[in-house]
Chains A and B, each alone.
Chain A
């Protein structure tokens, strides 16, 4: 009855891996710390969520599946609070977020190279 859960699990894990790749791409490519935190908190959380969900689909028992979801829930809390702590510490240390005026796109591209 639950055979269809296995392929579904593989699909979810594959999608989750994709989000991890995108999140880490963002970590490398985004211009400043704050934008990088966006990539880490959102894309990676979603990636982990999909992987946990996929593993839960393939878990041998309901309790094991619940454990995977618990992992995700704790990770959500930790990364969300962590991101805010890192951001507010950076702000307190005087790291200014780069703010873009709509007209100044040339600036953006020049500063892209580290």
Chain B
């Protein structure tokens, strides 16, 4: 419990620091942060592993940059020649839950893909300009997203640390 509170406190404090413009109002801030940390409902984000998330951030930004460049280049072409296609991406290793939602939103960032529909067994994706490795890229993104999450019981607080370390390998085994 104290660990979880601390994990919530830090991002909230950062948020307050940014919003209050340099943190001159901590007398108001600290109580507000404490109340928010205690009252915040348990969300999917609490199961994210912070360090893995930090490592994933550059990847996501790089994907966003490539996606933006591709669409901009397509739009500026004299005749935008699109070969849009709808493909299905069956789930490989992500369990039901917040991970899938994150994946669905990330698909909107990677070059040329847009999530059309999220169903329990597949992700329907609209592809602007299909190339042969789009399905492979989706699988790679899914394993990356799965690594961000500690899986297990919904609460997530009873897990031991050692268990989390093995997660990545387990997912790769499942994939094969």
Binding site for B on A (CB under 8 A): 18-19, 22-23, 25-26, 29-32, 34-35, 37-39, 41-43, 45-47, 49, 61-64, 66-67, 70, 76-77, 79-81, 83-84, 87-88, 91, 97-100, 102, 105, 108-109
Contacts and interface: CB of A to CB of B under 8 A. Distances in A.
Contacts of A47: 68
B36 interface: no
B76 A22 contact: yes
9 contacts: A22-B76, A23-B68, A26-B74, A35-B84, A42-B67, A45-B64, A66-B17, A66-B18, A105-B81
Contact of B70 (A42, A45, A76, A97): A42
Interface secondary structure of B, over-half rule: mixed
Contacts of A81: 105
Interface string B36-74: 000000000000000000000000000011011111111
Interface string B18-37: 11111100000000000000
Interface of B: 14-15, 17-23, 64-65, 67-76, 79-86, 104-106, 108-109, 111-112, 114-118, 124, 126, 128
Nearest to A108: B81
A30 B21 contact: no
Given A49-B64, A66-B17, A22 B84 contact: no
B155 to A, nearest CB: 25
Contact of A61 (B21, B106, B126): B21
A84 B72 contact: no
A25 B75 contact: yes
B75 A39 contact: yes
A35 B17 CA distance: 39
B71 A42 contact: yes
Given A34-B114, A83-B108, A100 B85 contact: yes
B105 A43 contact: no
Contact of A42 (B18, B68, B79): B68
B129 to A, nearest CB: 9
Given A19-B68, A45-B64, A63-B17, A97 B116 contact: yes
Contacts of A46: 64-65, 67-69, 72
Given A35-B84, A45-B68, A102-B83, 15 more contacts: A22-B75, A22-B76, A34-B114, A38-B112, A39-B75, A43-B71, A49-B64, A61-B21, A63-B17, A77-B105, A81-B105, A84-B115, A87-B114, A88-B117, A91-B117
